[in-house]
Structure 1
């Protein structure tokens, strides 16, 4: 059974809870049965041999060379099957942990208690009156992106979800023996199907595939969770929730780059953007129609006990004139049930909106809200629970999602605009790329006419270097549509260290642009800018990038106060620690004082979307944690405390940033480094995983410098080597530059930013395996680079432990520590399989068939390691 050895090994450090052990053992046993049935007992025996060998290697009982020799004995096809086994195991182990987390969340949510980092906790800490005041400007704005970081096929994800459902059924309390036997049979059936499902994508995704994939998170989770979060706050603010009007307005808005982000992705066209919005609209209108029909059918209160208000009676009478057959049918089905009749009529109108039946369709979400509030106000006089219960949830859903679901944002590179503008001004024949820029602006105009300005108005300009980069978009919009140009909020994206430093100057220049002045006057002097975490970290290293971003936020906050601008900072954070990832709520609390101001907008991408929004309980917890952090970070008390810590440790931060950046650049800018990186990692092969529609790099061929390489494959490839370099490299040198260990420890205790920096580095170090990493680094034939990387790893690990006071990595993170321990040996197994393929592909000569099989082994192991480490890029 493939899980028992790890249980014994990890018990000495972190005991696995019984419920988790039960699920891991059950799923592992069933997977073992499937492997034996499909591949034979000899395949299961080989899987067990490798499992026991890597565990023994971790104990020092066998050498890594012995494991390498074992793996080399197998035919490639056998190695592929073994890699499939470990990959399937990781999917099942992740599922078992998710179920345990959900159970834990529910157990913590005890009656009368206040769960930490919840909305109720924020109300408890700040007081209901203070929270109600803060909620007036509270806004959470997650933006889903299609950046290619989800290694799993959608078919694999749905297979795992089916297994999840059966595991829930199996563990449900009060079930009889026959019911449990049937659930176990179904579990075995679904695990068997997971084993038979191809784990590698047969073809490349196109942008609309990515849109449809993201819709799964909306359909299965987000639509239901949002009103639950609002209800949680309403319950915390005062008694009587569900019988009175809510005390806080909706504060969650979703955005999307999927189908709108064309920076470096020629596959995203104006046609794609148009279709993306239509797909979103179809999903949200279907969901609203279903919810309205369900609620309408339950509103069976008769006119005797819940009489219609005069306003509702008049509205029903008016609809009889306009749509006599429909209203007659509803009246026949719902006699003397006016509210039921009305809601079912509203559902029919939503259906007509989806079909584009203009005789019955709503013209806007505001019209729908007016009809819902007509019913709500009518019920409020006699049936308050019906007015402010499920019907209020529906009102919240319309207020949050409208008819467009999520605001689609467009992003394009500043150089594309500059080239297009040059052609437009020249007045000659326009290139295909320039025509596409103008077509995109016209599509934005169409979206606004069809769905309203809220559906699509933000236009992000990557690599903004000057205010002229912003002005260029407005000039192109005038050329595309003249006086009918769409409403645009052009958002500058600052990514490099130099761009971050120059950002206040750029914003001052934007104030001179007439269209920006007009938008400031219209929006109450609101302005949005975006901060890029990925490219800044790739350029500067993790420590310097974190500290430079904080410094930029301080400067931008001061600039906004000086110019009377309500500045919102949009955080372009990746999923991995080397791209600004990590716990979102801690990231909020680590922001510069005044920079949050009740609003937090952040990208959610790749595997993060399904990790955070794949299950309603986890999604609700995540959203409450972030909302809690935004409320606390926006309070004067927390802001003052953070400001004092930042002032005290400013010189220390500068010292750490400078030294860490120098160390990082001395490696990444050294001659031959890009070529070495391509040799020691599966960088070149990642494109074959078909993770997304966006190319993995700028230009063709091997990267000549890191500028040619996008941040995601940079992080993903290092994770595969078990080095995780983007998450920690340079930090050790930075910490070593500070003479006083006590001062570093004080900064860790008192300054949230420094605390988060070291804790995130500790997580990255914990997922690093030095002994496995050495085997990858040796593939590059540069002993100097290998020695430099490993020396910095040793330095960083040692100093992080000294500063945090921990005796081992993740000592104070029991759950994460257990997760890493559970997976490490199995990731080792996949790493050895991957190394075999990499060595052969780098040095051997093969037939096309042999190369294809080795590539399959490599890519399957990449997929499995990503599942085991639970992150890609």
Structure 2
């Protein structure tokens, strides 16, 4: 079969180069590295053959070692397995770097276009230029970095990957070899669990080394194409930040870590400014600017390297000095180096004195408890807690009464009130945008937001200067269905109406995929969110509210990831889409925003998707009532199938026994516990979605990304609706995206790895249930799409996934072998070794999964 041009480029630029550079691994500074490198291909082939024969991981490992007389002792076998793991971890990094280095030649798709094409059209079409001026004046993209542990290389490894990518671009073999040597000696994981501040330091690497430059470059390109000011009153690109602010279910986050992260972000930003300023100072050596340049020198240096007592927002002062410098250059020095001054002015306008807005997030149940703890101060009417929701909305009093936290309040309540006070100090230090959003997780009623406003008014904030946006987070299927009613109560509440008017009549609503997928399965989660967006948009438009959806999207499709830009480009007219806001996390950060090229591409794609969605003249992406009814039927059928599986008594037991779920808490890549209520027995509702999805992905089953879809499609076909479903796939960009992302999840699944479980006395029937749904979904999706294989329309991504799966297959087999042994042995010393084998394999398998995003 003839390869397309891009496939041929991928084969030569990625596949062939990986094979060539892979030979350099034999020079890595590992113990017995040559021996390891020589045996690994044989072990990989042995694993592949064993999986084809559906052997158990224990049999695969035993038969491999049976071929080598020197591996009779258990200690020698363990030693080789750990060496394989270490070797493969570095192979994953090499493949990442080679893919990134070839990204500009292999990674660009024509799905939604790019800025260059859009701006070229603007130059040739005055009418389009006028239209886009209005669009850009109203549009923004907000990317929020979160520390959810779906992939986390230490900053040292990220720096090596960046340098390795650059060396690979020029085929600098000597430098590549040196960097691989460095990689061999650099630890890939922490010995201790990171603190929230540690997580912030890791993520700040991306702010400093990628976003600082890319955001400015994109905004500059757009500004230069239009001859009118576009971003004087708003930013095109905004950055948000969760480490240190997201305390939902994370007892390790407190007001102290929030303060430390805010100070860290400010200091790192000023160091970025100082580096740029030093370049500027080397060029601007003229008379007339000395005073302004000296002011800037002192200001940048002081805030970069010293601990400033009571820091304040210096943005206006910085811009004033830069503007004065620019004026002198234009007036007296022929405008020399004005572009460099403009570049720094643009960055200061983009990032202020805060770099990224530190969002605060807490669960509504904690906020309710905090509100209740203030009753001793006489701030709540008698019997308030026993009132109905309607009665609470009637009697809520918004009294400005600054007082300390109640002495008998619990630690979480005290921290909540301390953090609310801290937000005011953060705004003083970095400007309003330093911390201006409080997100209420598990938001279920209007009083959850209004009571939080009370807490602000009781903590030193004033009604007239309450520069905070209150963001409800709706995530479960039930909460998504109720969300529009909750928001209508808010929009019609007199006090909230006044507050919203002061905030520009703009409401941000967060919708999360993770818990809705865990709650209702893949298809129902996607459909519930889509329907909620339609209802929430209608309510907002009814009351004249400008709505911005903030999407909590993870890396894998099961957590809302996948082809994100197509998701936004196909919203339709019924959904507000003037502002795109989404979380980026885990492997999504490093895979899509880990370098200038990838970050630029993905940000321009999102901007372009938002503009395209708002310009759709024929409204082809808006679903009609028949299409909605069809998806609704399929979502209900899928939901019944998933809930039936979830309620199976073996559901959690299966995950606990055959995935690394119980051991995830020992993996030092996150400060967050694996589950809420960490001291209690494991319950599905307490299990964090990230742990839930990770456990299934380690099993190579990815149940949250497809289960129930096949059942739903088959029911539609049996009911004589197959022609309508096929038309829906062809006509609806949203439904096509849902199906294509489902295919991506399935492409990362391999039920052969666990096929030995069909003989298991306890879990055999349960495994067959999972496998049967996978086979059915596979069959139905190929029938629906007319393809011969999954992801046939995305050959480069399919090839990338295939190579990555081959690289990590030995890790998967080692992990499942260790889990098998843990279910059999009682010896504590050996159990400890098997624990370490499982934990070490998780890193490589997760890191290799970057193309889930």
Tell me which interval the TM-score lies in, with the shorter structure as reference length: 0.7 to 0.9
- In the aligned structure 1, how far is the partner of 2:289 from the partner of 2:684? 63
Once the two structures are TM-superposed, the CA of residue 525 in structure 1 deviates from its matched residue by 1.0
1:834 paired residue among 811, 815, 829: 815
Q: Residue 696 of structure 2: which of 686, 698, 718 is its match? A: 718
Shift of 1:190: 2.8
Other-structure match for 2:431: 452
| Deviates most, 60-69 or 360-369 | 60-69
Q: 2:654 aligns with which of 672, 676, 698?
A: 676
Whole-angstrom distance in 1 between the partners of 2:588 and 2:502: 35
Query: Which of 625, 637, 659 does residue 659 from structure 1 map onto?
Result: 637
Q: What is the rounded CA distance, in whole Å, between the counterparts of 1:761 and 1:442 in structure 2?
A: 44
Give the CA RMSD over aligned residues.
3.1
| Further displaced range: 430-439 or 259-268 | 430-439
Aligned to 1:31: 25
Matched, 1:228 2:224: no
Structure 2 distance, partners of 1:384, 1:410, is: 47
Query: Contact 2:14–2:99 at 8 Å: present in 1 too?
Result: yes
2:387 aligned residue: none
Deviations, residues 235-272 of structure 1 (Å, cap 9, x unaligned) = 5447xxxxx97788741111111110101011111111
CA distance in 2, matches of 1:41, 1:360: 57
Q: 1:85 aligns with which of 84, 87, 90?
A: 87
Q: Deviations over 1:153-201 (max 9, x none)?
A: 44433333343344345x2xxxxxxxxxxx5344333323323333332
Equivalents in 2 of 1:693, 1:459: separation in Å? 21
Counterpart among 410, 416, 419 of residue 366 in structure 2 = 416
The number of residue pairs the alignment matches comes to 802
Question: Which secondary structure state, in structure 2, belongs to the residue aligned with residue 604 of structure 1?
Answer: strand
Q: Does structure 1 retain, via aligned residues, the 8 Å contact 2:51–2:752? A: no
Contact 1:684–1:702 at 8 Å: present in 2 too? Answer: no
- d(CA) in 2 for partners of 1:648, 1:796: 23
Distance 1:586 1:237 in 2: 26
1:536 to 506, 516, 527: 516
- Equivalent positions of 1:184-199 (< 5 A) are 184-199=173-188
CA contact (8 A) 1:525 1:565 kept: yes
Deviation, 1:504, is 1.4
Structure 1 residue 207 corresponds to structure 2 residue 208: no
Q: What's 2:620 paired with?
A: 641
SS in 2 for 1:660: helix
Partner residue in 2 for 1:253: 238
Report if the CA contact (8 A) 1:679-1:780 is conserved: no
Quick check: 2:555–2:850 contact (8 Å CA) kept in 1? Answer: no
Q: Does 1:823 align with 2:804?
A: yes
Q: TM-score, normalised by structure 1?
A: 0.86
Contact 2:150-2:846 within 8 A present in 1 as well: no
Q: Is the 8 A contact 1:289 1:350 kept in 2?
A: yes
Partner residue in 2 for 1:395: 345
Structure 2 residue matching 1:570: 3-state secondary structure = strand
Q: For residues 448 and 44 of structure 1, do their structure 2 counterparts lie closer, same or farther at Cα, with a shift above 3 Å needed?
A: closer
Counterpart position of 1:329: none
Question: In 2, are the aligned partners of 1:139 and 1:253 still within 8 Å (CA)?
Answer: yes
Q: Secondary structure at the match of 2:617?
A: helix
Asked if the contact 1:255–1:407 (Cα under 8 Å) also holds between the matched residues in 2, the reply is: yes
Q: Describe the superposition over 1:124-160 as per-residue Cα deviations: whole angstroms up to 9, x where unpaired.
A: 3882221111000111011111122224344433333
Q: CA deviation at 1:722?
A: 0.6
Structure-2 change in CA distance of 1:38 and 1:128 (3 Å)? same
Shift of 1:369: 1.9
| Distance in structure 2 (CA, Å) of the matches to 1:525 and 1:61 | 60
Are residues 490 and 662 of structure 1, via their aligned partners in 2, closer, same or farther at CA, if it must alter by over 3 Å? same
Picking from 738, 742, 746, the partner of 1:761 is: 742
TM-score (norm: length of structure 2) = 0.88
Structure 1 residues without counterparts, runs of 5 or longer: 1-8, 109-113, 172-182, 239-243, 300-333
* Closer, same or farther: CA 359–710 of 1 in aligned 2, 3 Å: closer
Distance in 2 of aligned mates of 1:601 and 1:780: 48
1:140 aligns with 2:147: no
8 A Cα contact 2:265 2:355, kept in partner: yes
Match of 1:860 in 2: 840
Cα pair distance change 1:631/1:518, threshold 3 Å: same
Once the two structures are TM-superposed, the CA of residue 91 in structure 1 deviates from its matched residue by 1.6
1:812 Cα deviation from its structure 2 partner: 1.0
Q: Deviations over 1:659-717 (max 9, x none)?
A: 00000111011223112221121111111111211111012368643202100011111
When structure 1 is superposed on structure 2, of 277-286 and 446-455 the one drifting more is 446-455
The corresponding residue for 1:310 is: none
Change (3 A) 1:199 1:422: same
- Measured against aligned partners, the alpha-carbon deviations of 1:446-501 in whole angstroms (never above 9, x if no partner) come to 11222222211210011111111011111112222264985322111111111111
Residue 55 of structure 2 contacts residue 756 of structure 2 at CA under 8 Å; is this kept in 1? Answer: no
Shift of 1:650: 0.9
The aligned residue for residue 306 of structure 1 is: none
Distance across 2 between alignment mates of 1:498 and 1:523:
29
Deviations 1:584-614 (Å, cap 9, x if unpaired)? Answer: 2112123353534421111111221222221
How far the C-alpha of 1:859 sits from its partner, in A, is 1.5
Indicate whether 1:76 and 2:97 are aligned.
no
Worse-superposed segment, 743-752 or 474-483: 474-483
Counterpart for residue 441 of structure 2: 462
Q: 1:296 aligns with which of 281, 286, 300?
A: 281
Q: Say which SS state the counterpart of residue 870 (structure 1) adopts.
A: helix
For 1:145 and 1:751, the matched residues in 2 are separated by: 31
2:524 aligned with 1:547: no
Q: What is aligned with 1:601?
A: 581
| Separation in 2, partners of 1:568, 1:682 | 38
Partner of 1:782: 763
Moved more, 268-277 or 740-749: 740-749
Q: Does 1:771 align with 2:756?
A: no
Is the Cα–Cα contact under 8 Å of residues 779 and 839 in structure 1 kept in the other structure? no
Point out the more displaced range, 513-522 or 56-65.
56-65
Structure 1 residue 719: Cα displacement: 0.7
Partner Cα separation in structure 1 for residue 344 and residue 117 of structure 2: 26
Further displaced range: 25-34 or 574-583: 25-34
On the 8 A contact 2:196/2:257 being kept in 1, the answer is yes
Q: What residue number does 2:205 align with?
A: 216
Q: What does residue 506 of structure 2 align with?
A: 526
How do 1:504-519 and structure 2 match up within 5 A? 504-513=484-493, 515-519=495-499
Aligned partner of 1:320 in structure 2 is none
Matching of residues 368-447 of structure 1 within 5 Å: 368-380=318-330, 386=336, 389-427=339-377, 429-447=408-426
Task: Name the CA shift for 1:380/1:520 in 2 (closer, same or farther; >3 Å).
Answer: farther
- Does the aligned pair in 2 maintain the 1:675–1:703 contact within 8 Å? no
- Partner of 1:94: helix, strand, or coil? helix
Deviation, 1:636, is: 4.5
Quote the Cα distance in structure 1 between the aligned partners of 2:54 and 2:677.
Answer: 47
Taking the aligned partners of 2:758 and 2:216, their CA distance within structure 1 comes to 50
- Alpha-carbon distance between aligned partners in 1 of 2:425 and 2:301, rounded to the nearest angstrom: 22
C-alpha spacing 1:247/1:463, structure 2 compared with 1 (3 Å)? closer
- Paired residue for 1:321? none
Change (3 A) 1:266 1:145: same
State the alpha-carbon separation in 2 of the partners of residues 62 and 685 from structure 1. Answer: 24
The worse-fitting range, judged by mean Cα deviation, of 672-681 and 39-48 is: 39-48
Moved more, 337-346 or 72-81: 337-346
- Aligned to 2:620, what secondary structure does the other structure show? helix
Among 259, 266, 282, the residue aligned to 1:281? 266
